[in-house]
Chains A and B, each alone.
Chain A
Amino acid sequence: MNVTTKYDRPNSYIGSSVPRPNAARLLQGRGRYVDDKILPRMLHAAFLRSPHAHARITRIDTEAARALPGVVAVYDGAEIARHVTPWQGVLTHLAGMRSPDQPALAIDVARWQGEPVVMVVAQSRAIAEDALALIEVEYDPLPAVTDMEAALTEDAPRIHPEIDSNLCWQRDIDAGDVEAAFDDPANTVVERRFTFGRHTGVTLEPRVCIGDYDPSEDRLTMHYSGQAPHMMQSVLSRHLGVPEARVRVIAEDVGGSFGIKIHTYGDEIATMAAAKLLKRPVKFAADRLESFMTDIHARDHRVTARAAIDAEGRLQAVEIDDITGIGPYSVYPRSSGIEGNQVINLIGAPYELPAYRARLRVAFQNKVPMCQYRAVGHPIAMAVMEGIMDDLAAASGRDPVELRRINLRADDSYPSASPQGMKFADLSHQACLDKLLDMMDYERLKADQDRLRAQGVYRGIGFVNMVEVTNPSPMFYGVGGAPIAAQDGATARLDASGAVHVANSITEQGQGSESILAQITADVMGVDLADVHVTTGDTATVPYGGGTWASRGAGIGGEAMLRAATALKDQVLEVAAAILQGRPEALDIRAGNIVDRDSGQIRMGLADLGRTVYYRGNELPDGVAPELIATRHFKVSDYPFVFTNGIMASHVEVDAETGIVTLLDHWVVEDVGTILNEKLVDEQIRGGVVQGIGGALYEECVYSEDGQLQNATMADYLVPMAGEMPDIRIAHVSTPTRTSELGAKGAGEAGTAGAPGAVMNAVNDALRPLGARLSQMPMTPERVLKSLRQGG
């Protein structure tokens, strides 16, 4: 598809699917991931972790471990706590949320299986692990609170004695006359209970960090595999007592993150503390077992949903009760409340909905902490609402597409707002639906489905309409007191050779952040893409800003880049005009040369200009500063978020005898506003869809009743692999956001947001003639079989 934007012109880069310049390194094995770094005198950390979900620690004996040759230090929770202050994962704007102080390593009580208890620092990771085997810890097991609903009962054991229950946070929404809608006998009402399993991010590169402390200057450097260097800088400063300006966080190549590596982990903070105490570099690289037992988990919801439509099929009310289990602490500094908050904020968002009531309860439990992972809350909101839409369609005898069409927000209805108070603008549900139906040939698929059913082949089609949070404003985190910037900064400068160097506070984890920054800059500056050099991820060298998360890199960091590059161009043209004795407005930059705007005639090269300014400043007229550098920052104003939208459909076949689901097709139409690089957008969506499919069909952290994780290996925790995944077809509708000049909305989470619901609806569409329905993810073969036995 050819994407045309207002920037489109010969040799433009915005909207062009150029290959990522920084991918060439990675293809030749020349990446620079944290674990690739070997610093002089570097030591290695390993952690003894609680084998119990909940236990009092009664004795720790580390004598034998300390005596092992090669062991340099052993720290328990109390020792680390002398050097690290505890943290609390609460946001003040999530009113009433509470979570007690969390120490880096457990002190006195361990509250999940996998919580770090003792840290060993040794000359190698292998020796550190040898030492772990020599540590004796005595535990007095306490009752484990694992089920999220049981956790909130009166007589449930308390996970934190200082809090009067295991409730972390509750939020209620009540807008419009919900009761009247459900009481009206003319309305069709459906109700359904959904269960969404816990899963986790399984970044291929596990969490890894190196702390490097120089006592002579009181400087701490963290080599960081993560998404938000400036946030981490602030966290380290706050809790390790090093002045913020003397903390440097460097994120070079990151082997996947997806929200996993943006949180505060006790083992990482302890590693920084050890580096400070030992005055030597210390590396901690989580192994895969540690990843499963300590990386944040995600989802874990039980949702009861009720909805009513009138005789014409128009939605009258939706009522939601969502309970989610977050482990023993709300995670710092983003909190574990955002996931559930987004569930209840986003349900029903694609539709005109007059009345809405919701209750969210966030419960503590003795499991791995749960927090924001790609598409935070969205997959739950979409799967619940779209599942209910299918139920309403079936109950009222309508085609699922017809019912959706009746209720979708109209493309000419913006700005508008939902009963939850979400402000929408620049959405395109109707255009997306039309495009999707065309792309998938819906009528033919339905005909095939009917024909095959007669032969005992059960295929299903499932839809999901999506509204997604992207480009968040300070109303997301900063307003609640978290050290998390909603703005991003960009610097652009011209060097003496005429090349352009840019630095930006957004980060790269493979999305293509650096590529789109180069594209925007080259486009604005009129230079070849190869002449733009990008720096990200280093708090010492990039402007202050939030990083890459919440689908914000292109929309916020990209806009800052656009403005910085524009300012640099203005400077260049001003200087050029002074040298050439003309007017800046009459000049332009094309293909790396200053040209006459009208005729295109080359006046001087950027290299000439650079050398003149930097080497022969004496040739510049008086009053012209030798300044070819500009920094601009950008935040979203007027809207708390730049919502965007899309639609998906999934096509599956279910083997009714084995319960095995085969994915046949998957289609996506997404509106990301201005498309900077369609190839990158599409690959973000595809990867996201497959992560969503993971949650829908495969991935689940299976716990025993006493809080033991049963499948903490990659042989037992199933991630999507190539063999089972379908080809995914993608098309676009482009409605630029009014909140920026660039017009870009986010794209990173769309796939993950919608895919689970689409697949669930498709499976249920396949099962419908068999009288079965499934409302639990992942939809394992066994669960499909059970739904067939129970008849839904």
Chain B
Amino acid sequence: MSATLPITLTVNGESVSADVAPRVPLVDFLRETLGLTGTHLGCAHGVCGACTVRVDGAAVRGCLMLAVQADGATVETVEGVSDSGEIADLQDAFHRHNALQCGFCTAGMLMTAAELLDAGGPPPERAEIREHISGNYCRCTGYQSIVDAVEEVAQARAADKGGQA
């Protein structure tokens, strides 16, 4: 066993320090050390998207990043963006459209969709939404309701912006 290393990072706005073994992936650190179990581990090889979290503002795979690599970083998980209300509109749309069944993909799906919604520009077309979430696997919904929810929020946010302009 290699020695643990000290890391300090900001998770959901809170500074966290811990000693971690280098081999611990970020997703395991969040789930097991910090108890942030809203982020899930689905495949551990970067394909399913269940572990998607935000690191320094970008959506990344929590299974393809080591916790030691997040030293000094700002990490946000579904718990953080829920408590802050940042994606409340997206969560509400997911709820109304039944854009989740078992819920295991949902955190990753929300983090991925949130990045698309924050990208700026005109609201994305359905095909663009589908392409953007095509690295997030959902076995339950068939995706259509997810696309419906994201599309609705994109249009609502664009209309809001238009109204304010």
Which residues of A come within 8 Å of B, CB atoms? 19-20, 23-31, 33, 35-36, 38, 69, 126, 201-206, 253-258, 287-288, 509-512, 679-680, 683, 686-691, 713-715, 719, 721-723, 725, 727-728, 751
Contacts and interface: CB of A to CB of B under 8 A. Distances in A.
Interface stretch (B3-11, B64-72, B131-139, B152-160): B131-139
Contact of B142 (A24, A126, A254, A683): A683
A256 B106 CA distance: 12
Nearest to A684: B101
Contact of B44 (A288, A691, A722): A288
A598 to B, nearest CB: 37
B147 interface: yes
A509 B135 CA distance: 23
B116 to A, nearest CB: 12
Contact of B139 (A36, A258, A287, A683): A258
Given A686-B141, A686-B142, A288 B42 contact: yes
Chain A facing B: main interface SS: loop
Contacts of B143: 690, 721-722, 725
Most buried by A among B102, B105, B126, B136: B102
Given A35-B40, A687-B140, 9 more contacts: A28-B91, A29-B39, A30-B38, A31-B37, A69-B1, A510-B102, A714-B43, A719-B137, A722-B146
B142 A256 contact: no
Contacts of B79: 28-30
A690 to B, nearest CB: 4
A122 B128 CA distance: 46
23 contacts: A23-B103, A24-B95, A26-B102, A27-B82, A27-B110, A35-B41, A38-B35, A201-B139, A205-B42, A254-B102, A288-B48, A510-B102, A679-B98, A683-B98, A683-B140, A689-B142, A691-B139, A714-B137, A719-B139, A721-B136, A722-B131, A722-B134, A722-B138
A719 B42 CA distance: 13
Given A26-B103, A33-B104, A722-B147, A204 B142 contact: no
A288 B51 CA distance: 14
A722 B37 contact: no
Nearest to B24: A126
Contacts of B23: 126
B129 to A, nearest CB: 8
Contacts of A512: 98, 101
Interface string B60-93: 0000000000000000011100100000000100
A683 B101 contact: yes
B131 A723 contact: yes
Contacts of A509: 101-102
B144 A686 contact: yes
Contacts of A19: 95-96, 98
B42, B82, B126, B140: residue with the most chain A Cβ atoms closer than 10 Å: B140
B103 A27 contact: yes
A683 B145 contact: yes
B102 A690 contact: no
Given A30-B38, A258-B139, A288-B45, A510 B100 contact: yes
Interface of B: 1, 21, 23, 31-32, 35-45, 47-48, 50, 77-79, 82, 91, 94-96, 98, 100-107, 110, 126, 129-131, 133-147
A727 B144 contact: yes
Enumerate the 3 nearest inter-chain pairs by beta-carbon distance, A residue then B residue, closest first.
A29-B38, A26-B103, A510-B101
Nearest to B95: A19
Contacts of B32: 38
A185 to B, nearest CB: 47
A29 B142 contact: no
Contact of B138 (A204, A288, A511): A204
Contact of B48 (A23, A31, A714, A725): A714
A222 B75 CA distance: 34
A27 B94 contact: yes
A28 B84 CA distance: 11
A686 B99 CA distance: 11
A686 B145 contact: yes
Contacts of B91: 27-28
Contacts of A691: 139, 142
Contacts of A728: 142, 144
Contacts of B1: 69
Most buried by A among B32, B39, B104: B104
A680 B97 CA distance: 9
A713 B142 contact: no
Contacts of A36: 31, 37
B111 to A, nearest CB: 10
Contact of B135 (A23, A29, A258, A721): A721
